[in-house]
Amino acid sequence: MDPTNKFWWFAGVSIFISLLIFIALAVFFWQQLLPDQQSTLIEIIKSHFIYIFIALILFIAAIGFGLDAIFHSYILPLNRLPEEIEVIHTVNPNHRVKRDGSKLINLVIDAINDVADHYQQLENDVTARVIEAKSEVEKEKNILAVIMSELPEGVLICNRDGQILFFNKQAKRFFTGKKEDRRVDASPVKNHKPQPFPFFGLGRSVFEIIDRNLISHALDDIADKLAKETSGVASYFVLIAKDGRHLRTEMVPVLNHQRDFSGFILIISDITSQLEMNNQSDLRVQSLSGGIRTSLAGVRAAVETIMEFPNMSADQAREFTRIIYQESLKIGRLLSQHARKSPDRPRSQWPLIETRADTMLEKITVKAKHLLQVGFTPEAYDDDLQLSTDSYSFSLAVLFLLQRVYDETEVSDFSCRVHQTKEMINFDIRWQGKPIRIDTVHTWEDNVLSLPDMGLPLTLGEIIRFHDAELCPYSDTSQGWSGLRLILPALPPDSAALTRQPTIIPDSRPEFYDFDLFNQPGQDPAVDNRLLTELTYTVFDTETTGLDPRGGDEIISIGAVRIVNNHLMADDRFDQLVNPQRPLRWESIQIHGIQEKSLKHQPVIAEVLPRFHQFAEDTILVAHNAAFDMRMLQIKEAETGIRFINPVLDTLLLSSIVHPAQENHNLMTIAERLGIHVSGRHTAMGDALATANMFLKLVPLLAKKGIHTLQQAREASEKTYLARLRY
């Protein structure tokens, strides 16, 4: 309701009530009067009505003004307050409530404004922290992006549904044809009719850019490999980009920490030009060796004939000599021609991966039935025969052949025999019916592989060539059998296939993400004033022959880990047994369980300390009951010349700062109190790890006590009672 309306309602009602009371009083007064008094009063009112009327008007006006004052200094400001407060905590923390009420109301307003000041400051702090945290993340992301974009390979990461989560510049270029990077040759492939590029971007489906059949083929392959727990789990295939480039693609599964499939990484490299080069050099080598063989055959035949028939006519002998001369000239020409050509560059193979023949035949049988409605029965093959193929394109080629033979002969029942000879594998497709002419096969070789719902923009001939294979018809007319034989060389498989392991997402954040290592401020004299959360620590523990450093007890083991940027670097550790060059005490063996014989071949302390010193350089040393361990180190100072001048923090003391009421501050008790799991108790490494975890939990607790910097922590340590205990 409008404040003015509110006021009129308020004033109207107030005046109405006042008048009601006044009239009631007047009526009551009238009835109390005697009749002659009443007539006298009427008389008086009649003659002096003007005074009474003015008094009445003034009375009403006074009530009105009074009400107005109350309304403006109490009711209106109070009425506004909720709205103003709402403004402060929603849209504008800078807003303050205006002081325009009564004294009392103004006090309330002041209090509200104070709260608002406080609130604003808190919010600014939070915003600043958010910005800081964001910029860290942004920095890490940028570094990652730079590294990824410098890779020559395209990288594409998808979740299990095929949604693109990440890609680098190269991957984008492969799939969109954009030449962002000039170092990579991106000229379109010859003889290829370019097709429009698909949309490409984060969150889009990978199936928009890569044939669904190809992806599911590879995923099946990976699932098989994961189930069989083979050593390499990647799947390889070649995909043809819209501009005709040949992209060798490696699919590596991503598993979560429970080893469930949660996505895949595609690593893509462009092998177009290498393949072209290979083909050219293959052709060159073939023509060279063919030419040499031919000419050599002439030379040899002629020479052998002359030797064999010494009595041949002079004409004949001259003829043969001429052949020898001419053919030797030819060989010379061939060789010098070949030498002029550029030397061969490293070969890139079409990724041929060993697959069990039975697995592949099974898959082809299923697809033949579903896609082509023809029968394909594997008939005879060695049980553990392996085929080196690009399984997708090879299967496609076989299906393509089945379809073509069906079109040509109307045979719909095929069998298959695979057998290995010396260095080759014959892959025979057989049927009862008329044979296929070799020139028919030649025309098929020029056809692009396309089947209902499946296909590759490559010709049959290309696929055969990439497999270094040959295709030829054969027939056994007496039995009525005809067939097509794919002759495959038994090639060694790609070595990469044997080594690629699945990527497993760890439960926690991997340490190498801590990119801030790159801009550490280095050795800073103001290290004392830095926040505990920013410093680098070496958390360590020693095991000794006994508890008396002065009495000649020696270190037998040092374990240490690093804490960087408030993260435990569990992999960056120092773990070393030490030969104490003295017998172990029986009691100490009971504690650490280290036997004398296991120390005999370990380095002595004079060799170990310099390395540990190096490990701990420029860090803050942290230990539990540090005084003891520092003493052990210090005693060796004279002997080794190694001085540990690092600042030291003691978790025992820090714990007693945080929990002064607790009496027990030994490692196990603190660990239990702070909820830390300790494994490998009383090994130097196990205790160092426990201490490090403890320290990480103590830092925020110290902050609550107002201890934020190294200096504050050290000063507070000194004050605690336990600090006076000296070894």
Q: Which residues bind another protein (CB under 8 A)?
A: 286, 289-291, 293-302, 304-305, 308-309, 312, 316, 319-320, 323, 326-327, 330, 421-424, 426, 435, 437-439, 468-470, 472-475, 477, 485, 487, 489
The nearer residue to another protein, 225 or 404, going by C-beta atoms, is: 404
Phi and psi, residue 411, nearest 5° = -80, 135
The nearer residue to another protein, 39 or 289, going by C-beta atoms, is: 289
Phi and psi, residue 243, nearest 5° = -95, 10
Kindly state the tokens that stand for 243. Answer: 């501009």
The nearer residue to another protein, 468 or 596, going by C-beta atoms, is: 468
Least gap, CB of 234 to another protein (angstroms): 28
Least gap, CB of 422 to another protein (angstroms): 7
Residues in the chain: 727
Q: At what angle do helices 314-340 and 272-308 cross, to 10 degrees?
A: 160
Least gap, CB of 284 to another protein (angstroms): 14
Separation CA 604–CA 578 (nearest Å): 5
The nearer residue to another protein, 73 or 305, going by C-beta atoms, is: 305
The nearer residue to another protein, 330 or 682, going by C-beta atoms, is: 330
The nearer residue to another protein, 476 or 548, going by C-beta atoms, is: 476
CB neighbour list of residue 629: distance below 8 Å, 6 or more residues apart: 540, 541, 542, 623
Least gap, CB of 300 to another protein (angstroms): 5
Least gap, CB of 299 to another protein (angstroms): 7
Do 268 and 154 form a contact (C-beta atoms < 8 A)? Answer: yes
Least gap, CB of 318 to another protein (angstroms): 12
Closest CA to 226 of 464, 40, 502, 24: 502
Q: Is 651 exposed, middle or buried (0-12, 13-18, 19+ CB in 10 A)?
A: buried
Least gap, CB of 367 to another protein (angstroms): 26
The nearer residue to another protein, 231 or 289, going by C-beta atoms, is: 289
The nearer residue to another protein, 320 or 414, going by C-beta atoms, is: 320
Local structure of 718: helix, strand or coil? helix
Cβ of 477: how many Cβ atoms within 10 Å? Answer: 9
**DSSP letters for 394-456:** HHHHHHHHHHHHHHHH---EEEEEEEE-SSEEEEEEEEESPPPPHHHHHHHHTSEEEETTEEE
Q: Is 103 exposed, middle or buried (0-12, 13-18, 19+ CB in 10 A)?
A: exposed
Least gap, CB of 396 to another protein (angstroms): 21
Helices (runs of H) and strands (runs of E) counted in the chain: 22, 20
CA angle at 274 for the pair 272 and 275, rounded to the nearest 5°: 65
Least gap, CB of 416 to another protein (angstroms): 15
The nearer residue to another protein, 134 or 300, going by C-beta atoms, is: 300
The nearer residue to another protein, 118 or 293, going by C-beta atoms, is: 293
The nearer residue to another protein, 128 or 297, going by C-beta atoms, is: 297
The nearer residue to another protein, 299 or 670, going by C-beta atoms, is: 299
Least gap, CB of 298 to another protein (angstroms): 3
CB neighbour list of residue 89: distance below 8 Å, 6 or more residues apart: 119
Closest CA to 465 of 385, 397, 368: 397
Give how far Cα 679 sits from Cα of 510, 648, 671, 675, 686, Å. Answer: 21, 24, 11, 13, 6
Least gap, CB of 424 to another protein (angstroms): 6
Least gap, CB of 285 to another protein (angstroms): 10
Least gap, CB of 380 to another protein (angstroms): 17
Do 393 and 463 form a contact (C-beta atoms < 8 A)? Answer: yes
Sheet holding 555-564, edge to edge: 567-577, 555-564, 537-544, 620-623, 648-650
The nearer residue to another protein, 428 or 629, going by C-beta atoms, is: 428
The nearer residue to another protein, 291 or 686, going by C-beta atoms, is: 291
Closest CA to 435 of 387, 367, 484: 484
Least gap, CB of 336 to another protein (angstroms): 19
Separation CA 224–CA 14 (nearest Å): 89
DSSP structure class, residue 184: S
Do 710 and 620 form a contact (C-beta atoms < 8 A)? Answer: yes
- Amino acid in the structure at residue 465: R
Closest CA to 142 of 503, 515, 517: 515
CA-based radius of gyration for the chain: 46
The nearer residue to another protein, 398 or 594, going by C-beta atoms, is: 398
The nearer residue to another protein, 316 or 450, going by C-beta atoms, is: 316
Do 327 and 299 form a contact (C-beta atoms < 8 A)? Answer: yes
Least gap, CB of 459 to another protein (angstroms): 18
Least gap, CB of 427 to another protein (angstroms): 11
Kindly state the tokens that stand for 102. Answer: 């009564």
How far is CA 491 from its chain centroid? 35
